[in-house]
Amino acid sequence: MSIYLGKREVRLMQLGAGHTSGDIVAWVPDAEVMFSGDLIEYHSACYCGDAHLREWPMTLNEIRNFNPKAIAPGRGDALKGTATVREAIAMTRDFVTSLYGAAEISVAKGRSLKESMAATREVMDPKFNSFAIYEHCLPFNVSRAYDEASGIDDPVIWTDKRDQEMWAALQGGG
C-alpha cells in the first residue's frame, strides 16, 4: 500500500516474517530510507519471543535488496550510510541464526530448555552479551527458539502462566 505525505510516497509492505508474523516496513523510495522496526537491530538484542526465526534471515535479504541508504531500526538512532545499514542487517542475521542454530542443536540432542539456555549462552554470549537488552530478552528468545526447533511453528501466546512455566523450567532441574 502506498500513502502520500504531500508528494512523497511511502510504501507500506510486508516482506516476510521475522520479529513477528506480520512485520510491516515503510519504504520511502525518493529518499531510499526504510523504517524496519524490530526486524533490524544495531548493537541491541532482538526480542524473539514472538519470532519466526527460520524465516527472519530471508526477510532480511528482502530488506537488503532495497539497498537502503538509511534505516530506522527497532531501537536507537537511525542508521545512515549503506555500509552501516549492511552491517546492521548482517548483525541481526548473525543474532537470529546463532540463536536458532543453538536451539536446533539442543533439540536434536534431546536437551531440556535449561540445557538449551546454557548451550545458547556458549554460542551467543561472546558475540552479543554487551548488546542492549540482551539479558532481558534471552530467556524469551531461547524459549521461542527451542519451541520452533521442536516443531512449534507459530509462537505460543505469552501469558502469566506460560511465563511462570518458562522460569520454572529454566531454574529447575535438567
pLDDT tens digits along 10-42: 999 999 999 999 999 999 999 999 999 999 999
What are the φ and ψ backbone dihedral angles of 52, each rounded to 5 degrees? Answer: -120, 90
- Give the CA distances from residue 38 to residues 66, 155, 169, in Å, rounded to whole numbers and listed in that order: 17, 16, 27
Q: For residue 143, what pLDDT is reported?
A: 97
Q: For residue 32, what pLDDT is reported?
A: 98
Q: For residue 10, what pLDDT is reported?
A: 98
pLDDT confidence of 76, banded at 50, 70, 90?
A: confident
Q: Where are the domains of the chain?
A: 2-171
- The share of the chain scoring above pLDDT 90, in percent, equals 95
pLDDT tens digits along 90-131: 999 999 999 999 999 999 999 999 999 999 999 999 999 999
pTM: 0.94
Average pLDDT of the chain is 96
Asked if pLDDT for residue 174 goes beyond 60, the answer is no
Which among 52, 42, 54, 1 has a CA at the least distance from the CA of 22? 52
pLDDT tens digits along 140-161: 999 999 999 999 999 999 999 9
Strand order in the sheet with 2-5: 2-5, 8-13, 25-28, 33-37, 70-73, 79-80
Q: Which residues pair with 10 in a beta bridge?
A: 3
